[in-house]
Amino acid sequence: MKKNLTTICMSLIILLLGTTLSFAGNGKLGTSKAVNSGSGSGMAALPYDYPSAAEISALTYMVEEEKVARDVYTVLYESTAIPAFANIAAAEQKHMDAIIALLNKYELVNPVAELAAGNFNNGDLQALYNQLVAAGQVNDEEALLVGATIEDVDIFDLLHELTVVDNEDISAVFTNLLEGSKNHLRAFNALLLLNGYSAYQASEYLTQAEIDAILDAAPSNGSKKGSANNNTRLPQQSNMIDANGDGICDLLQ
């Protein structure tokens, strides 16, 4: 067990922070061209193409769905004290900021601007939030399964939205959110296995084949390190951060 814990330590950090790194550093959204996820100043470098009704609907829905993820993870961190929930909640805030930058660029209404944590305009998302929070507070395993399920939903919806948007800036942001959600799914699955639980399985969103392909892929952070093992889907990495030598990644304590 100690060997498994230490070999995945650094890769988990990469997975958990991968999305944050994609939105930070040089002010660009991953490898996309000059897309700034904060103030939106970099967004001006891409063509101004006022979004269609379908694209406005996609932006409005996805920013609220990312809020579901952020708010659920915040609650689950408070109930479980698992650091991954705090780390990924921060990444979800950056996902929201990236979409809000697009809403601001086109002077569209930000539907989450006045919403308190745990509150949603969309009735389906409100019901989803309530269901996931209740399920995740049962125990740590259920909490991690909820995290994986949220990323499953996000990936499923982003794949759909990418078929209905054609604006270069919206496509760039959604593509980067998609890669971030894949990283998060891999991270939650790794934590499930690390703690002796079963791997995440398909439910009603992505197919098992799609989930398998994501879990077997390397993290989408520009690094070739941390490729997944086909048998365990635990990221394999020789580097680690285990300052006290107890075999448990410091990030997970």
What proportion of the chain, given as a percentage, has pLDDT over 70? 70
Q: Which CATH number is correct for 2-252, 1.20.58.220, 1.20.1260.10, 3.40.50.300, 1.10.3720.10?
A: 1.20.1260.10
Cα–Cα distance measured from residue 47 to residue 64, given in angstroms and rounded to the nearest whole number: 25
Which pair of structure tokens corresponds to residue 157?
Answer: 């919806």
Identity of the residue numbered 189? N
Tell me the domain boundaries of the chain.
2-252
- pLDDT confidence band for 44 (50 / 70 / 90): low
* Cα separation, 5 vs 58, whole angstroms: 39
Residue 163's pLDDT is what? 97
pTM as predicted? 0.76
- d(CA 8, CA 238) in angstroms, rounded, equals 8
pLDDT for 23 equals 35
- CA atoms within 13 A of residue 228's CA, in its CB half-sphere: 24
- What was the pLDDT predicted at 50? 96
Window from 37-51, 145-159, 233-247 with minimum mean pLDDT = 233-247
